[in-house]
Amino acid sequence: MAILKVMDHPLIQHKMGVLRRVETGSKEFRELVNEISMLMCYEATRNLPLMDVEIETPVAKTTVKQIAGRTLGIVPILRAGLGMVDAMLNLIPTAKVGHVGLYRDPETLNPVEYYCKLPYDAPERDIFVLDPMLATGGSASAAIQFIKDKGVESISLLCLIAAPEGVARVQKDHPDVDILVAALDEKLNDHGYIVPGLGDAGDRLFGTK
Ligand code: PRP
Ligand code: URA
């Protein structure tokens, strides 16, 4: 079984507390999602392999570390995953970006796909799937399956808030996928919203409600 990691760094916990507040407006919400995603990226890449390379400083020759191994890719789940992209690209500028478009049918809560475009070399990359919310897990599980169907084998899922139900669904459908979250909440309500959660992440990011 892959890992479930709750990234409980004090800065992440503090910023999550502000993000959740009902009075936090879209501008601050976007900024916080960006900042938390950057802190999560830092933690999520902690074990990347390094190799030695010889360089010359203005003073002397020396050996420094350079990230080795496979290149990275990021795949936001549209729409809300877009809020996490800039932070990842700021820290990993060589990452390529794919997109999976899904929305959750409000009646059935099942994911409906409307777009999927990945980098041509996605199978050679380690892919981070981004979505602020892991609720029933239907969207993340379907997105991961699309990505696997394109030949990708190394996938991690980064979410700001997860419900236990969503974690269980992804672990059951994709036991090979690591799940990294900033908070693990209590439960889902009758409408499939995470409790206490933060409401609708896409609407809060883009001001659509
Ligand atoms: C939200 C969220 C996830 C999904 C989570 O997207 O960003 O993609 O719901 O729910 P699930 O785990 O039960 O599938 P939404 O469907 O609201 O679309 P949006 O990002 O376009 O607002
Ligand atoms: N999608 C959201 O944006 N929020 C939730 O709580 C559940 C699904």
Q: What is the pTM of this model?
A: 0.96
* Rg from Cα positions in the chain: 18
200 catalytic per annotation: yes
CA distances from 137 to 91, 100, 110, 203 (A): 27, 15, 10, 19
Q: Flag the least confident range among 67-71, 91-95, 97-101, 170-174.
A: 67-71
- Which ligand 1 atom is at minimum distance from the Cα of 81? 7
Strands 126-130 and 155-162, bridge-based pairing: parallel
Those residues whose C-beta lies under 8 Å from the C-beta of residue 32, and which sit 6 or more positions away, are 15, 18, 19, 24
Q: How far is 131 from 77, CA to CA, in rounded Å?
A: 6
Amino acid 70: pLDDT = 83
CA end-to-end distance (rounded Å), the chain = 39
Q: Which residue has the CA at smallest separation from atom 5 of ligand 2? A: 193
Q: What sign results for the dihedral spanned by CA atoms 31, 32, 36, 37? A: negative
Helix ranges (H only) for 102-192 are: 138-149, 164-173
Q: Is 201 in the pocket of ligand 1 (CB under 6 A)?
A: yes
Average pLDDT on 173-195 reads 97
* Cα–Cα–Cα angle for 32, 35, 38, rounded to 5 degrees: 145
With the most atoms of ligand 2 within 8 angstroms of its CB, the residue from 26, 195, 200 to mutate is 200
Q: Which one from 108, 121, 176, 208 is the annotated catalytic residue? A: 108
Taking only the tens place, the pLDDT of each residue in 39-77 is 999 999 999 999 999 999 999 999 999 999 889 999 999
Q: Give the C-alpha separation, 45 to 140, whole Å.
A: 20
CA of 192 to the centre of ligand 1 (A): 10
Average the pLDDT over 93-116 and give the result.
Answer: 92
Tokens 């969207």 — which residue? Answer: 139
Best residue for ligand 1 mutational test, from 37, 133, 167 (most atoms within 8 Å of Cβ): 133
pLDDT tens figures, 135-169:
999 999 999 999 999 999 999 999 999 999 999 99
Q: What is residue 30's predicted lDDT score, i.e. its pLDDT?
A: 98
Could you give the CA distance from residue 112 to residue 202 in angstroms, rounded to a whole number?
16
Give distance in angstroms: CA of 203 to centre of ligand 1. 10
80 CB within 6 A, ligand 1: yes
Which of 20, 159, 169, 198 should be mutated for ligand 2, with most atoms under 8 A from CB? 198
Query: What is the model's pLDDT at position 69?
Result: 82
What separation in angstroms does the CA of 118 have from each of 74, 84, 122, 153? 9, 17, 6, 14
Is residue 21 flagged as an active site residue?
A: no
Is 71 a known active-site residue?
Answer: no
